[in-house]
Amino acid sequence: MAKPIEVNDSNFDQTVLKADLPILVDFWAPWCGPCRMVAPILEELSEEFNGKVAIGKLNVDENTTSAKKFSISSIPTMILFSKGKPVQQLVGARPKKELREILSGAMAKS
């Protein structure tokens, strides 16, 4: 079963910026209610898009360097990276249907 990838400050470049697949990174924190609402959706989508689009999770409380680098001021914030570049940013919890459409679009463009 595919699970979201744990992303942190030390593996960010290798895991996200040098990724072969497009990757949606969820910037979150354990105390954030909307983050907890979106987590099971991202787990399901991680399974659904396994091998086509990756999903990563970065805890902003533990990884402040990456959060600052991308000016994360509200969570959840999800940034879609393709070929090492941020191509789309979403702020706030989003429904599964919208996230699926974004991931499908990323898969088609890669």
pLDDT tens per residue across span 66-78:
999 999 999 999 9
Q: Is 35 a catalytic residue?
A: yes
Q: Is 110 inside any structural domain?
A: no
What's the helix, strand, coil split of the chain in %, to 5?
40, 25, 35
Q: Is the pLDDT of residue 108 over 90?
A: no
Q: Is 108 inside any structural domain?
A: no
Q: Which of 19, 32, 102, 103 is catalytic?
A: 32
Confidence (pLDDT) at 22: 97
Q: What total of structural domains would you count in the chain?
A: 1
pLDDT tens per residue across span 15-58:
999 999 999 999 999 999 999 999 999 999 999 999 999 999 99
Q: Which of 35, 55, 93, 103 is catalytic?
A: 35
Determine how many CB atoms are found less than 10 A away from the CB of residue 42. Answer: 24
Whichever domain contains 53, its CATH number is 3.40.30.10
Q: Is 109 inside any structural domain?
A: no
Q: Is 61 inside any structural domain?
A: yes
Q: Is 100 a catalytic residue?
A: no
25 touches 57 (CB < 8 A): yes
* Closest to 108 measured CA to CA, from 22, 16, 43, 44: 22
